[in-house]
């Protein structure tokens, strides 16, 4: 019997998870990565004993990574550990209001009552609705291929159909939240969940309200060693299952004969396999690897998600007022999103996110008495902005705002600095225009507009990662890998 062979292009989280799943299913898997290490947007670097995760910083839905290890019949504790956090995020407003977003929903409701005069029962009802929306409707969207007709004949689809109300589709997230809460600050807090997939709360549907369930009903977690430990665990699992990795090997082309995948070209050499999985942005897959410019241009027309400008600061001071996750809100959230998505420009009062892993592991993440700050603002994808100029302008704005709210001269505490902007994100990770989540979710039909996990044009070609279904972010990328590997397995069973 012929050995089942598969090639995975790219070793981001979705690529690693797909490789591990396929190897567990009996495939001989080879992964080709243009960079010298695995992880994609999740990388790790160290400067003067300050450690920094380069990309995603929030860890939710740990069951998704546990599923992979259970599927592979490997004990996850030997590869990966994590702990639940008491506080999901700490929110700072310009009028000195500080809200602790507890992961215990009752404590969170009490906090919003005391700080923002919200009705505790209303908060709990909102979160209960979010849970129902997630467990019924959300589960269908993240577990099934929306482009496979038979998905809609499953019992899960019937359950999904009963899980939402019409307003979850007809209303945008802001309108839905405005009708749910008394205080504009609470509305802003819950509007923020649209940014979890790079979207605009004033455009994206209220379906995104289900994200709040993950933080305040299910919980927020911290992986031991930081976020890179997720990629590291998946890499080690893939190795254990026999996956072969080829770093510093950029794929030049996908070989296609009679609309059927035959393999790839690397270093002018043909490497054959009848199953190829692209963990590269779908746009670049079609444009650069398949030379299918018509298909690439169709993808190009769909609105991209937001990107990020990140400063990695080694801070030679500890700030007791800060937590692992911190948000410093803009005074005009709607204008901020108009600038990001409508005008494609930088806003003068951006919302600032700070992640500090040394709050959880002070002995390993930063020198004693110091902190590692991952400072990020949402920005447009890499289109019209001159980032060489924009970085300096944004740096001044961020420092002024943080210094004002924290009542300290933050610039004076910066010991080391590294910077990441959309142009670098695009070149480092092959994400078109540096968009973090592929296409945005700024329309009612966004879930259906995402590229599927398979190709209708080329038999044997599959897709995983943030640019395809079900979307960006670590949990969805892990689900993308599960959907894709299942599709491949079922396809092979037919032959």
| DSSP string over 200-242 | -TTTSBGGGGGHHHIIIII-EEEETT-THHHHHHHHHHHHHTT
Q: Where a domain ends, among 215, 246, 280?
A: 215
Q: Is residue 220 part of a domain?
A: no
Please report which confidence band the pLDDT of residue 160 belongs to, taking 50, 70 and 90 as the band edges: low
Give CA–CA dist 311/354, Å, rounded: 10
Above 50 in pLDDT, residue 8? yes
**Phi/psi at 334 (5° precision):** -65, -40
One domain for residues 313 and 411: yes
Please report which confidence band the pLDDT of residue 212 belongs to, taking 50, 70 and 90 as the band edges: very high
One domain for residues 211 and 119: yes
Write out pLDDT tens, residues 369-389. 999 999 999 999 877 899 989
pLDDT value of position 152: 46
One domain for residues 232 and 201: no
Q: Is residue 428 part of a domain?
A: no
Q: Is residue 238 part of a domain?
A: yes
Instruction: Please say whether the beta carbons of 215 and 103 come within 8 A.
Output: yes
Give CA–CA dist 220/24, Å, rounded: 29
The whole domain housing 389 covers 306-380+383-420
One domain for residues 274 and 317: no
One domain for residues 176 and 203: yes
Write out pLDDT tens, residues 454-492. 999 999 999 999 999 888 889 999 999 999 999 999 887
pLDDT value of position 146: 59
Q: Is residue 275 part of a domain?
A: yes
One domain for residues 446 and 408: no
One domain for residues 268 and 370: no
One domain for residues 342 and 416: yes
Q: Where a domain ends, among 184, 215, 246?
A: 215
Number of domain units in the chain: 3
Question: Residue 17's domain is classified under what CATH number?
Answer: 3.50.50.60
DSSP per residue over 133-188, as a string? IIIIIIHHHHHS-TT-GGGGGSHHHHHHHTS--THHHHSBHHHHHHTT-S-HHHHH
pLDDT value of position 145: 65
Above 80 in pLDDT, residue 117? yes
One domain for residues 292 and 310: no
Give CA–CA dist 296/203, Å, rounded: 25
Q: Please tell me the pTM assigned to this model.
A: 0.94
Could you say which DSSP state residue 343 is in? I
**Spatial CB neighbours of 266, under 8 Å, sequence gap ≥ 6:** 32, 246, 249, 250, 251, 252
Give CA–CA dist 488/479, Å, rounded: 14
Write out pLDDT tens, residues 397-411. 999 999 999 999 999
Q: Where a domain ends, among 182, 215, 248?
A: 215
One domain for residues 413 and 451: no
Q: Is residue 436 part of a domain?
A: no
Q: What is the average pLDDT value for the chain, to the nearest integer? A: 92
Instruction: Please say whether the beta carbons of 60 and 219 come within 8 A.
Output: yes
Q: Is residue 19 part of a domain?
A: yes
Q: Is residue 94 part of a domain?
A: no
Q: Is residue 485 part of a domain?
A: yes
Which of 253, 242, 247, 317 is CA-nearest to residue 285?
A: 253
One domain for residues 311 and 404: yes
| Edge-to-edge strand list for the sheet holding 307-315 | 98-102, 87-92, 325-328, 352-355, 371-379, 307-315, 414-420
One domain for residues 281 and 310: no
């Amino acid at each position: 019997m012929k050995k089942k062979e598969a090639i995975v292009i790219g070793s981001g989280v979705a690529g690693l998870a797909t490789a591990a799943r396929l190897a567990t299913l009996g495939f001989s898997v080879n992964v080709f990565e243009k960079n010298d290490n695995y992880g994609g947007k999740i990388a790790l670097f160290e400067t003067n004993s300050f450690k920094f995760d380069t990309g995603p910083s929030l860890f939710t839905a740990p069951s998704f990574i546990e599923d992979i290890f259970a599927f592979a019949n490997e004990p996850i504790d030997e590869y990966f550990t994590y702990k639940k956090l008491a506080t999901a995020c700490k929110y700072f407003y310009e009028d000195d209001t500080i809200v602790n977003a507890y992961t215990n929903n009752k404590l969170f409701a009490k906090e919003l009552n005391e700080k923002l005069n919200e009705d505790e029962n209303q908060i709990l009802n909102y979160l209960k609705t979010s849970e129902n929306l997630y467990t019924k409707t959300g589960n269908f969207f993240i577990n099934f291929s929306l482009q496979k007709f038979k998905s809609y004949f499953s019992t899960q689809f019937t359950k999904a159909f009963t899980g939402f109300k019409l307003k979850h589709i007809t209303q945008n997230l802001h309108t839905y939240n405005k009708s749910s809460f008394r205080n504009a600050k609470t509305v802003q807090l819950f509007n923020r969940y649209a940014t979890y997939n790079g979207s605009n709360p004033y455009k994206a549907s209220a379906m995104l309200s289900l994200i709040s369930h993950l933080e305040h009903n299910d919980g927020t977690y911290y992986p031991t060693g930081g976020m890179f430990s997720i990629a590291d665990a998946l890499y080690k699992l893939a190795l254990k299952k026999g996956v072969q990795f080829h770093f510093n090997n950029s794929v030049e082309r996908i070989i296609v004969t009679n609309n059927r995948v035959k393999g790839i070209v690397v270093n002018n050499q043909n490497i054959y396999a009848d199953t190829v999985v692209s963990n590269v942005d779908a746009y670049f897959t079609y444009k650069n690897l398949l030379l299918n410019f018509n298909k690439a241009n169709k993808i190009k027309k769909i609105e991209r998600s937001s990107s990020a400008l990140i400063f990695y600061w080694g801070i030679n001071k500890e700030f007791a007022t800060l937590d692992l996750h911190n948000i410093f809100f803009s005074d005009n959230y709607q204008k901020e999103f108009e600038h990001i998505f409508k005008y494609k420009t930088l806003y003068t009062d951006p919302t600032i996110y700070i992640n500090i892993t040394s709050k959880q592991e002070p002995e390993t993440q930063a020198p004693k008495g110091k902190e590692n700050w991952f400072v990020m603002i949402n920005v447009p994808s890499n289109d019209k902005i001159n980032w060489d100029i924009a970085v300096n302008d944004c740096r001044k704005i961020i420092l002024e705002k943080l210094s004002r709210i924290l009542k300290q001269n933050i610039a004076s505490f910066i010991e080391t600095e590294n910077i990441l902007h959309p142009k670098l994100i695009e070149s480092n990770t092959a994400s078109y225009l540096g968009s973090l989540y592929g296409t945005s979710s700024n329309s009612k039909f966004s879930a259906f507009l995402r590229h599927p996990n398979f190709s209708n044009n080329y038999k044997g070609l599959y897709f995983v990662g943030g640019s395809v279904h079900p979307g960006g972010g670590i949990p969805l990328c892990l689900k993308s890998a599960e959907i894709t590997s299942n599709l491949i397995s079922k396809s092979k069973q037919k032959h």
